[in-house]
Structure 1
């Protein structure tokens, strides 16, 4: 009889231990962005609640491609509390339909959970005819403080920077996207933050041209401005060596030019 009681107690305790686990409950496990302007960072936050009786710790969140960058709640989510998994899809240079997944690994009852994002990336030219006047009026507007910048004489391969001011003349937050140029020699020094309507932000661009001679590079600045992308022209005279280029011959001796 005692053996039977001990066995029942063991089975009961084992069953209770099996039930003691966190449960990852999402509001939705899929999101459709619909039509996305090319160049924008399509972002959606999946919210979940721990409906179990033990804390949940998310170990990793793995995206199905490099174009999707995930983020998530890094601290333990206690029973009854909420957390999030954020998926960011970079649409720059990726026109067309997309369907991507992010896979969550955790200590919940369902150790592997898959979330899905989808949509259709349209170029600004494709998107504009489908927009109403009200939608265009509500769009952010990207305004640069100047259309071009001349670096003057720089050494080939030398990394140089310039600052420019971006103003949002629209009615909603402006989000800057990727930079593109035929030379693949321009980038952000730091990722710009969103710009509120009526506000301005100074951004810093890195320029690294290696082709010798007079350079003229047109840079496209993508954003969520539905009216179109912005263009900036960068000019420079690229020389092999700034030091030797500044020397002149005087009486057979090299003298720095002043």
Structure 2
């Protein structure tokens, strides 16, 4: 009887040790091949829980700031599927890339490394491979104006300027990164693709803390092989917009003492 009890305990322990979720990815490496500079190269790694317990992904850590991960946040039940998404920002990064995202979970294998790689081609390289007819079939970006002057603004404020973008080409226009030397200009919201012949409003947010007259050269990258769109933002940045009025008040005549 004692031996039978010990055997039952051993079987229960063994069963408990095998009660785990298992992350099984369809593949752990994705090669984008040639990627046009300025695009957001995106791939979803699909997985299935082939174990017998729910799997919860605790975190997904990218190897660099140029890669943004996302993943299924809810528990993945046995037999069900989920995704880990990796988005690589190719703007300003021409050449070969090889990046990883590390998936941490409560699965039997607690850590899995996924890899994305490819070769970012700048627009001149891509344009050289296209015939005039192929180039004419692509998207084409046109801005309604070449710049915006914010006038006087307070340091740390985040004013925005709206521009109208029209796609005069023959394929969907996809806007990607906003580039500036100050790293202080960005989209208020990620623009959606613009259909041929359609227009859309984009809103650029400006966050400059450097005082004095400022002039920022801004580049909007896209899948338009004709070139990137360029514009200029201007502002006169002051420490405090109320400082001038306070000085006037302090210098005014006081009728009673």
- The interval holding the TM-score normalised by the smaller chain is 0.7 to 0.9
Conserved 8 A contact 1:212-1:240: no
Classify the secondary structure of the residue corresponding to 1:217: strand
Name the SS for the 2:204 alignment partner.
strand
CA contact (8 A) 1:64 1:102 kept: yes
Aligned residue in 2 for 1:212? 212
Segment of structure 1 superposing worse, 132-141 or 6-15: 132-141
How many Å separate the matches in 2 of 1:119 and 1:228?
22
Query: Does the aligned pair in 1 maintain the 2:189–2:203 contact within 8 Å?
Result: no
The equivalent of 1:175 in structure 2 is 174
Give 1:191's aligned residue.
189
> Aligned in 2, Cα 1:126/1:211: closer, same or farther, shift over 3 Å?
farther
| Residues 101-150 of structure 1: CA deviation (Å, up to 9, x unaligned) | 00111111211111000111222112221345676455433222223334
Q: Give the CA deviation at 1:76.
A: 0.6
CA RMSD of aligned residues (A): 2.9
The total of aligned residue pairs comes to 246
The answer to whether the Cα contact below 8 Å between 1:38 and 1:95 also exists between their aligned partners in 2 is yes
Q: Distance in 1 between matches of 2:202 and 2:30?
A: 32
Task: Provide the C-alpha distance between the structure 1 equivalents of 2:137 and 2:85, rounded to a whole number of angstroms.
Answer: 25
Classify 1:239/1:49 alpha carbon distance in 2 versus 1 (closer, same or farther; 3 Å). closer
Range with greater deviation from structure 2 (92-101 or 137-146): 137-146
Is the 8 Å Cα contact of residues 179 and 186 (structure 1) preserved in structure 2?
yes
Residue of structure 1 equivalent to 2:201: 202
Alpha-carbon separation, structure 2, partners of 1:96 and 1:19? 45
Change in 2 beyond 3 A, CA 1:202/1:61: same
Could you tell which deviates more after superposition, 139-148 or 128-137? 128-137
Runs (5+) with no aligned partner, structure 1: none
In structure 2, C-alpha distance between the alignment counterparts of 1:101 and 1:150, rounded to whole Å: 41
Q: Give the equivalent residue in structure 1 for 2:65.
A: 66
Question: Once the two structures are superposed, what CA deviation does each residue of 1:15-45 show, in whole Å capped at 9, x if it has no partner?
Answer: 2222222111111111111112222211111
Instruction: After TM superposition, list the pairs within 5 Å mapping 1:1-258 onto structure 2.
Output: 2-131=1-130, 136-137=135-136, 139-151=138-150, 153-155=151-153, 157=155, 159-188=158-187, 190-198=188-196, 199-208=198-207, 210=210, 212-213=212-213, 216-236=215-235
CA distance in 2, matches of 1:240, 1:14: 68
Distance 1:27 1:160 in 2: 45
